[in-house]
């Protein structure tokens, strides 16, 4: 772990050194300011000629100015190094994610996990600014203070070294151990509270209708109070760290002063003017050491986050690329699934269980079924996002493994599950599918998706920004942009995964009708839970729990007893009651 | 996080405790006690600082001048060691107290937010990101710790220590005190000036910064799409380029933002030099004793330190204030009607400011809520439920979810609602259950307008089987008891048998005492549905409301659920959203809903 983080930071060692040097200079300036000032006063008391003080006076002023300037330099240098490290890590994480998205990483099944991962990457900034720089600074400044003292009074240096090690090393380590123990004690209380929160926030309707809200709230409040009680109790120990370091600082200062005074009274072994210098150097050398207790806490947090990031960097790709890929297929292609099964790591059952499918040119197939029935996993197999655990996927009669993944997706693509709109213009979002597309081609694709009127009505037209995650456009426009993008790509095999997801029923039916009209004559797989218009497709495959439970044309399936007829009946009640 | 400036929350203008912070402190149950304790600790801290400086100055001055033997000043050393120990003890007390206060405030905030979410109800929650809210109420609130352990106690220190130090220095050497009096205010003044002159520049860059910072998440989230179009590899360069742009834009902002830190640091250290050099020169003249000179030198930095620390502590606590803001957003969310009034405890008088406005309906027991005579229905022919021209519009949706629906259900009648998904069937049920308010029209339950009725009491007449029942992180038995907490074990088992749940529950490792994981993990959807049916059996209410009870079930579990449902319907008034013929066959009437309206004639069932 340490070595890999060091590897990440290696490219920025120079800047880190600048940051640490500036930080060390800041602290040394503070130390020198007080040391010189003490010497100035002590020497002045001996009433020497003014010239004897002039260097010290210049020193005091210089160190005072230097401290502010060095601090500014340190802030800038450490943030620059941190942000550079972040940029490097983001690049690496992106490279690592490319083969993993979307099937190789659980985070792609949850927006929360994904944003936490992105947040985890930012921990590298904290590591630099809040851990590496302050810890290095403390070490160097402590060594410098001990070195200076060793020259003046070796016995005091020994005491100082011991005190600094105690406050800077032993106390933080003890605090880490104690923090771990506290976390272990708090963990069950936190988990219990989180379960109550989930129940109240996601089960509020059930609670309200069954008149159980008040009781559930009372339970949650008891759990919350239990956690608060534990936190209040552990506060007494977690607050000890800072106090312990301060105690060591005081004891060291007293001991150094005693030793200095002792050396002074022993026949001029030590010049009197150096007594306050030693005492103040001892006192102030702890200033960069005291913040190490919180720095170590930070280290624990960023280490946990970076460990999760490293796990992403190490995650195995779900699909291996061939060493000698076959040339990309061209023209109309045929795809077939032969008894294909997929099981996700750690899952109890197959997500897709022995499914067969034939996609001959211009054939259109609809896959219907409840959510979790394996429809999207099936598409992931066709797009070579995931390796089947059994069975074969054939592309033009050859195993799909023999092709480069990007070549497969040049042939088989479309509207994927949760198709993403990037925070950029409509034009850029569309040209993703074909970077060289002309505006006329973009408009043609938009027209097919019935978006041309809307885009023309926008003041910025194609240059309109769609906002983060497509938030500035309505759900229907969003899906239609994704559809236009797929049409622009114009692949031999078009995949459409729940293209009407999240739309109100009327819009959904309209879009579905348009979709079926525009894909006529193209090889198409459409995953849907809306049945409107499916009489136009060549085959309907009904999936349940990963298995194909029914297949045939709309006419066949409506005539037969089974889940398809039930679904059809539910969406056409008028037929049902006739 | 790195100290990227947050201009919108910066303490510019010298607001030490903004409205947010004051609200936060209002949640501290023992605020006067805590404030008094922090004041005491700050005063004691100031005394300790003065005594420590005094002792150290005398000892060091003696050391320079006379070089007394350690033995002769042993008492002073002992005293000094004691003072250091007291100072450490005070720091411990302050931190421990602050952390304890933080724990209390977090618990109080959690309680108020949770209460408010339940008042706002399921309708409001369905539009929220509940996962994010759970995080906010858990780990998220811990971000408040730095504010409580850093900034808040530092306010008291900053108010007390500089004054005490200044007074002591004035007594020792008036000239030095004058220098400090003149320079000390420069810290807040420069803070404000630098802040004002940089705010506009930082704010201008802030949006650009935010956009660049969000780019990585945008690209990572869109990676499946990039791969689908073969663009993932070509974006790798863009990721690096934008990360670098983000860095340089941030650095441009920081170069200005850190100027304030530079100025403040300079004021503080240069002032120490300004004090030290003249003090040295006067010592040289014999105008000052060495011990006084050292005392001034030791005390001068202590006058500036608290104010500087206050600034950096504020920076460290902005994240926590953002979390608090999110909590207050929930507390301030415009309230719906809903179960609010029945949730408010009679003793929660202080909560009025937070939720009073949201609850226009009278409190229970005030005698103004109409009673709902359903079970006691004197006239069995009178409708139990009557929708009169009910329209429901959801915020942000153009089309009405329900559009002028009128419907009566008589006692003992069974009505099946059918129609395409999204047509408004579930909305109709939610209106009836008091989960969704009507936009216009009214719903009469037992002859009383639901808007005037005591919703709690009305719901006691209802058993509900939702499409996706929530299973709570409790035991199976407790889940079944949801609507009747006082039911005996025998009653629970009987209800489970009727719901065909007993077979699989008995097979669980600890039977009815098996704890269900989060959201009932470990049970299949058919099993969960049967638990929900058992709930309804145990509730034993005269009106039964079912929302596609067999949706998403495999054929095997569907048959058992259908059978159990049929048994549950016996002898009850039933309103069922059906999506399978089996559910409709038992119904007396089939009502078709399309596009939020009742479509076509309401046919008796079985006319297929």
Shortest alpha-carbon distance between residue A63 and chain B (Å): 8
A383 and A278 in a single domain? The answer is no
Q: Is A566 in the B-facing interface, judged by CB distances under 8 Å?
A: yes
What is the greatest pairwise CA distance in chain B? 116
Listed residues B332, B360, B393: the one ending a domain: B332
**CB–CB of B236 and A251 under 8 A?**
no
Q: What does the DSSP 8-state code read for residue A504?
A: -
Q: Is residue B484 part of a domain?
A: yes
Listed residues A314, A347, A375: the one ending a domain: A314
pLDDT at position B196: 73
- The residues near A479 (Cβ < 8 Å, ≥ 6 apart) are A415, A419, A499, A500, A501, A502, A503, A511
CATH code of the domain covering residue B165: 1.20.1560.10
Query: Which residues from chain A sit within 8 angstroms of residue B138, using beta carbons?
Result: 190, 193-194, 197
The better pLDDT of the pair B133, B55 is held by B55
User: Rounded to an integer, what distance in angstroms lies between the CA atom of residue B432 and that of residue A7?
Assistant: 63
Return the minimum-mean-pLDDT range out of A259-273, A323-337, B110-124, B306-320.
Answer: B306-320
Q: Is A134 in the B-facing interface, judged by CB distances under 8 Å?
A: no
- From the list A421, A416, A420, the residue with the least C-alpha distance to A467 is A421
Q: Is residue B33 part of a domain?
A: yes
pLDDT at position A18: 96
Interface ipTM above 0.95 = no
B432 and B560 in a single domain? The answer is yes
Query: Which residues from chain B sit within 8 angstroms of residue A125, using beta carbons?
Result: 1-2
Shortest alpha-carbon distance between residue B497 and chain A (Å): 20
A206 closest CB neighbour out of B117, B482, B599: B482
A352 and A307 in a single domain? The answer is no
A440 and A505 in a single domain? The answer is yes
A247 and A367 in a single domain? The answer is no
User: Rounded to an integer, what distance in angstroms lies between the CA atom of residue A164 and that of residue A177?
Assistant: 19
H helical segments located in B317-402: 318-332, 340-343, 352-355
Q: Is residue A321 part of a domain?
A: no
Write out residues in chain A with pLDDT < 50, as ranges.
576-578
Spell out the SS3 assignment of A142-158. Answer: HHHHHHHHHHHCHHHHH
pLDDT at position B203: 67
Shortest alpha-carbon distance between residue B423 and chain A (Å): 7
CATH code of the domain covering residue A368: 3.40.50.300
One-character DSSP codes across B110-148: HHHHHHHHHHHHHHHHHTS-HHHHHHHHTGGGGGGHHII
A288 and A361 in a single domain? The answer is no
**CB–CB of B68 and A265 under 8 A?**
yes
Calculate the CA dihedral of residues A123, A128, A132, A134 and round it to 10 degrees: -110
Choose the mutation target among A208, A244, A429, A545 for the interface with B, i.e. most B CBs under 10 Å.
A208
User: Rounded to an integer, what distance in angstroms lies between the CA atom of residue B81 and that of residue B84?
Assistant: 5
For residue A236, the chain B residue with the least C-alpha distance is: B96
- Within 473-492 of A, beta carbons closer than 8 Å to B belong to 485, 489
B314 and B389 in a single domain? The answer is no
Token pair 């250091």 is at which residue? B84
- Within 300-359 of A, beta carbons closer than 8 Å to B belong to none
The better pLDDT of the pair A115, B445 is held by B445
Q: Is residue A27 part of a domain?
A: yes
For residue A267, the chain B residue with the least C-alpha distance is: B67
- Within 196-215 of A, beta carbons closer than 8 Å to B belong to 196-215
CB contacts < 8 A, A to B, total 475
A431 and A548 in a single domain? The answer is yes
- Within 222-281 of A, beta carbons closer than 8 Å to B belong to 224-225, 227-229, 231-232, 235-236, 238-240, 242-244, 246-247, 249-251, 253-254, 257-258, 260-262, 264-265, 272-273, 275-276, 279
Listed residues A279, A314, A349: the one ending a domain: A314
How many other CB atoms are found less than 10 A from the CB of residue A109?
12
User: Rounded to an integer, what distance in angstroms lies between the CA atom of residue A271 and that of residue A25?
Assistant: 27
Token pair in block for residue A38: 């003490």
Q: Is A164 in the B-facing interface, judged by CB distances under 8 Å?
A: no
- From the list A53, A7, A575, A576, the residue with the least C-alpha distance to A273 is A53
User: Rounded to an integer, what distance in angstroms lies between the CA atom of residue B409 and that of residue B382?
Assistant: 9
Token pair 């002073």 is at which residue? B76
CATH code of the domain covering residue B500: 3.40.50.300
Instruction: Compute CA distances B404 → A504, B382, B400, B401, whole Å.
Output: 19, 22, 9, 10
- From the list B80, B48, B49, the residue with the least C-alpha distance to B63 is B80
Burial zone of B331 (CB within 10 Å; 0-12 exposed, 13-18 middle, 19+ buried): buried
Q: Is residue B115 part of a domain?
A: yes
Shortest alpha-carbon distance between residue A37 and chain B (Å): 6
Q: Is residue A359 part of a domain?
A: yes
Query: Which residues from chain B sit within 8 angstroms of residue A117, using beta carbons?
Result: 220
Q: Is residue B482 part of a domain?
A: yes
Rounded to an integer, the average pLDDT of B286-299 is 94
**CB–CB of B240 and A201 under 8 A?**
no
Return the minimum-mean-pLDDT range out of B85-99, B217-231, B242-256.
Answer: B242-256
Shortest alpha-carbon distance between residue B411 and chain A (Å): 20
What is the number of structural domains in chain B?
Answer: 2
B228: confidence class by pLDDT, cuts 50, 70, 90: very high
For residue B88, the chain A residue with the least C-alpha distance is: A243
Calculate the CA dihedral of residues B122, B124, B129, B135 and round it to 10 degrees: -70
Q: Is residue B350 part of a domain?
A: no
Q: Is residue A246 part of a domain?
A: yes
Residue B545 domain boundaries: 383-604
**CB–CB of A212 and B482 under 8 A?**
yes
User: Percentage of chain B with pLDDT > 90?
Assistant: 38
H helical segments located in A46-132: 51-97, 111-121, 123-126
A345 and A245 in a single domain? The answer is no
Listed residues A314, A347, A367: the one ending a domain: A314
pLDDT at position B361: 35
A139-164 residue pLDDT tens: 999 999 999 999 999 999 999 999 99
What is the number of structural domains in chain A?
Answer: 2
Q: Is residue A179 part of a domain?
A: yes
User: Percentage of chain B with pLDDT > 70?
Assistant: 81
Q: Is residue A342 part of a domain?
A: yes
Q: With DSSP H G I counted as helix, E B as strand and the rest as coil, what are the percentages for chain B, rounded to 5?
A: 65, 10, 25
B148 and B27 in a single domain? The answer is yes
A357 and A229 in a single domain? The answer is no
Please state the φ and ψ torsions of residue A355, each to the nearest 5 degrees: -100, 135
> Rounded to the nearest 10 degrees, what angle do helices A213-238 and A171-202 cross at?
170
Return the minimum-mean-pLDDT range out of A363-372, A556-565, B121-130, B430-439.
Answer: B121-130
B38-69 residue pLDDT tens: 999 999 999 999 999 999 999 999 999 888 88
pLDDT at position A471: 57
Residue A201 domain boundaries: 2-314
Cβ–Cβ under 8 Å, residues B192 and B10: no
B188: confidence class by pLDDT, cuts 50, 70, 90: confident
Q: Is residue B342 part of a domain?
A: no
**CB–CB of B125 and A201 under 8 A?**
yes
User: Rounded to an integer, what distance in angstroms lies between the CA atom of residue B61 and that of residue B69?
Assistant: 13
- The residues near A293 (Cβ < 8 Å, ≥ 6 apart) are A171, A172, A175, A241, A242, A245
User: Rounded to an integer, what distance in angstroms lies between the CA atom of residue B126 and that of residue B577?
Assistant: 20
pLDDT at position B11: 40
B215: confidence class by pLDDT, cuts 50, 70, 90: confident
How many other CB atoms are found less than 10 A from the CB of residue B454?
23
Q: Is A183 in the B-facing interface, judged by CB distances under 8 Å?
A: no
Looking at the DSSP assignment, which residues form a beta bridge with residue B590?
B416, B603
User: Does the pLDDT value for residue B606 go beyond 60?
Assistant: no
How many other CB atoms are found less than 10 A from the CB of residue A225?
17
Token pair in block for residue A85: 């490290």
One-character DSSP codes across B495-515: HHHHTT-HHHHHHSTTGGGPB
Q: What does the DSSP 8-state code read for residue A195?
A: H
Q: Is A367 in the B-facing interface, judged by CB distances under 8 Å?
A: no
A55 and A163 in a single domain? The answer is yes
B293 and B396 in a single domain? The answer is no
CATH code of the domain covering residue A28: 1.20.1560.10
B322 and B465 in a single domain? The answer is no
Burial zone of B213 (CB within 10 Å; 0-12 exposed, 13-18 middle, 19+ buried): middle
Q: Is residue B338 part of a domain?
A: no
Burial zone of B127 (CB within 10 Å; 0-12 exposed, 13-18 middle, 19+ buried): exposed
Query: What are the DSSP E strand ranges found in A284-389?
Result: 335-342, 352-359, 364-369
Query: Which residues from chain B sit within 8 angstroms of residue A64, using beta carbons?
Result: 266, 269-270, 272-273
pLDDT at position A544: 82
pLDDT at position A385: 93
User: Rounded to an integer, what distance in angstroms lies between the CA atom of residue B257 and that of residue B198?
Assistant: 7
Q: Is residue A260 part of a domain?
A: yes
Cβ–Cβ under 8 Å, residues A130 and A298: yes
User: Rounded to an integer, what distance in angstroms lies between the CA atom of residue B78 and that of residue B71?
Assistant: 11
Token pair 């006192």 is at which residue? A283
Please give the helix or strand (H or E) that residue A542 lies within, else none. Answer: strand A539-544
Q: Is residue A530 part of a domain?
A: yes
Across all residues in chain B, what is the average pLDDT?
82
pLDDT at position B528: 86
- Sign of the torsion formed by the C-alpha atoms of A344, A348, A353 and A354: positive
Q: Is residue B370 part of a domain?
A: no
A505 closest CB neighbour out of B1, B137, B420: B420
A381 and A437 in a single domain? The answer is yes
B230 closest CB neighbour out of A87, A279, A406: A406
pLDDT at position B261: 75
């Amino acid at each position: 772990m340490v070595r890999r983080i060091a590897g990440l930071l290696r490219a920025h060692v120079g800047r880190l050194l600048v940051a640490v040097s500036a930080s060390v200079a800041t602290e040394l300036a503070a130390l020198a300011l007080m040391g010189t000032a003490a010497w100035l006063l002590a020497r002045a008391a001996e009433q020497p000629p003014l010239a004897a003080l002039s260097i010290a006076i210049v020193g005091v002023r210089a160190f005072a100015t230097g401290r502010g300037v060095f601090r500014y330099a340190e802030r800038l240098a450490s943030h620059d190094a941190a942000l550079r490290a972040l940029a490097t890590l983001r690049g690496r994480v992106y490279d690592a994610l490319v083969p993993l998205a979307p099937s190789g990483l659980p985070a792609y099944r949850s927006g929360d996990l994904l944003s936490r991962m992105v947040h985890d990457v930012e921990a590298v900034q904290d590591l630099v600014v809040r851990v590496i720089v302050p810890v290095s600074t403390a070490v160097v400044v402590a060594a410098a203070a001990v070195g200076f003292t060793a020259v003046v009074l070796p016995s005091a240096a020994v005491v100082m070294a011991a005190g600094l090690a105690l406050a800077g090393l032993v106390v933080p380590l003890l605090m880490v151990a104690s923090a771990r123990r506290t976390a272990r004690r708090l963990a069950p209380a936190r988990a219990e509270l989180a379960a109550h929160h989930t129940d109240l926030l996601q089960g509020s309707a059930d609670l309200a209708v069954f008149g159980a809200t008040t009781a559930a709230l009372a339970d949650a409040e008891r759990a919350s109070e239990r956690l608060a009680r534990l936190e209040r109790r552990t506060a007494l120990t977690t607050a000890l760290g800072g106090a312990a370091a301060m105690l060591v600082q005081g004891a060291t200062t007293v001991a150094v002063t005693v030793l200095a005074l002792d050396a002074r009274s022993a026949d001029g072994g030590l010049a009197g003017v150096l007594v306050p210098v030693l005492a103040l150097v001892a006192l102030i050398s702890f200033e960069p050491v005291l913040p190490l207790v919180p720095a170590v806490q930070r280290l624990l947090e960023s280490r946990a986050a970076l460990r999760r990031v490293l796990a992403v960097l190490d995650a195995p790709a779900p699909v291996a690329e061939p060493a000698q890929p076959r040339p990309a297929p061209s023209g109309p292609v045929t795809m077939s699934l032969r008894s294909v099964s997929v099981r996700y790591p750690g899952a109890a059952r197959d997500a897709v269980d022995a499914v067969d499918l034939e996609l001959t040119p211009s054939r259109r197939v609809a896959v219907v079924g409840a959510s979790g029935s394996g429809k999207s996993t099936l598409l992931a197999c066709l797009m070579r996002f995931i390796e089947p655990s059994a069975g074969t996927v054939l592309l033009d009669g050859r195993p799909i493994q023999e092709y480069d993944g990007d070549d497969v997706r040049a042939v088989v693509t479309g509207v994927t599950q949760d198709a993403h709109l990037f925070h950029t213009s409509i034009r850029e979002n569309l040209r993703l599918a074909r970077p060289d597309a002309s505006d006329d081609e973009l408009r043609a694709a938009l027209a097919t998706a019935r978006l041309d009127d809307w885009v023309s009505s926008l003041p910025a037209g194609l240059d309109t920004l769609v906002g983060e995650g497509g938030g500035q456009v309505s759900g229907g426009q969003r899906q239609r942009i994704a559809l236009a993008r797929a049409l622009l790509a114009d692949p031999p095999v078009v995949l459409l995964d729940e293209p009407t997801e999240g739309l109100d029923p009327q819009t959904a039916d309209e879009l579905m009708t348009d979709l079926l009209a525009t894909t006529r004559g193209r090889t198409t797989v459409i995953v849907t839970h809306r049945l409107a218009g499916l009489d136009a497709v060549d085959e309907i495959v009904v999936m349940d729990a990963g298995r194909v439970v029914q297949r045939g044309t709309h006419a066949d399936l409506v005539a037969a007893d089974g889940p398809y007829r039930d679904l059809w009946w539910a969406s056409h009640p008028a037929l049902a009651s006739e | 996080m790195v100290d990227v400036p947050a201009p919108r929350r910066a303490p510019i203008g010298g607001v030490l405790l903004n409205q947010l912070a004051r609200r936060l402190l209002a949640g501290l149950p023992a605020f006067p006690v805590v404030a008094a304790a922090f004041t005491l600790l700050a005063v004691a801290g100031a005394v300790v600082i003065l005594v420590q400086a005094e002792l150290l100055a005398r000892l060091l001055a003696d050391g320079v001048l006379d070089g007394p033997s350690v033995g002769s000043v042993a008492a002073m050393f002992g005293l000094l060691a004691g003072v250091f120990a007291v100072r450490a003890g005070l720091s411990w007390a302050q931190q421990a107290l602050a952390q304890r206060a933080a724990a209390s405030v977090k618990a109080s905030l959690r309680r108020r937010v949770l209460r408010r979410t339940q008042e706002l109800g399921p309708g409001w929650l369905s539009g929220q990101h509940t996962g994010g809210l759970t995080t906010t109420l858990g780990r998220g609130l811990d971000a408040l710790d730095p504010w409580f352990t850093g900034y808040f106690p530092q306010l008291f220190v900053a108010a007390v220590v500089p004054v005490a130090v200044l007074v002591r220095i004035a007594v020792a050497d008036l000239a030095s005190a004058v220098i400090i009096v003149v320079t000390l205010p420069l810290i807040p003044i420069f803070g404000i000036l630098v802040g004002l002159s940089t705010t506009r520049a930082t704010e201008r860059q802030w949006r650009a910064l935010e956009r660049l910072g969000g780019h990585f998440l945008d690209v990572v989230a869109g990676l499946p799409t990039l791969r689908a179009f073969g663009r993932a590899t070509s974006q790798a360069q863009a990721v690096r380029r934008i990360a670098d742009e983000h860095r340089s834009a941030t650095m441009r902002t920081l170069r200005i933002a850190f100027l304030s830190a530079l100025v403040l640091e300079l004021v503080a250290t240069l002032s120490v030099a300004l004090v030290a050099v003249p003090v040295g020169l006067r010592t040289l003249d014999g105008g000052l004793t060495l011990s006084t000179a050292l005392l001034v030198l030791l005390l001068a930095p202590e006058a500036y330190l608290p104010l500087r620390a206050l600034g950096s502590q504020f920076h460290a606590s902005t994240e926590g204030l953002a979390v608090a803001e999110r909590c207050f957003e929930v507390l301030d969310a415009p309230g719906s009607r809903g179960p609010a009034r029945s949730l408010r405890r009679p003793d929660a008088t202080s909560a009025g400011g937070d939720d009073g406005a949201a609850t226009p309906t009278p409190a229970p027991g005030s005698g103004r809520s109409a009673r709902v005579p359903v079970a006691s229905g004197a006239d069995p022919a009178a409708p139990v439920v009557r929708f009169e021209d009910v329209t429901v519009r959801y915020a942000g949706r153009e089309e009405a979810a329900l559009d002028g629906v009128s419907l009566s259900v008589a006692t003992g009648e069974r009505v099946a609602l059918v129609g395409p998904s999204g047509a408004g069937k579930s909305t109709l049920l939610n209106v009836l259950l008091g989960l969704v308010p009507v936009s216009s029209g009214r719903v009469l339950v037992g002859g009383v307008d639901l808007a005037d009725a005591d919703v709690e009491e009305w719901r006691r007449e209802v058993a509900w089987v939702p499409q996706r029942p929530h299973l709570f992180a409790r035991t199976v038995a407790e889940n079944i008891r949801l609507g009747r907490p006082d039911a005996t074990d025998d009653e629970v088992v009987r209800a489970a048998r009727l719901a065909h749940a007993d077979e699989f529950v008995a097979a669980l490792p600890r039977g009815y005492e098996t704890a269900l994981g989060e959201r009932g993990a470990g049970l299949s959807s058919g099993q969960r549905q049967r638990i929900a049916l058992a709930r309804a059996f145990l509730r034993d209410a005269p009106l039964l409301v079912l929302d596609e009870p067999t949706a998403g079930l495999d054929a095997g579990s569907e048959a058992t659920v259908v059978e159990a449902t049929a048994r549950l319907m016996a002898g009850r008034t039933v309103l069922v959203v059906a999506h399978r013929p089996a559910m409709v066959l038992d119904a007396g009437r089939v009502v078709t809903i399309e596009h939020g309206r009742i479509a076509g004639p309401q046919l008796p069932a079985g006319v297929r």
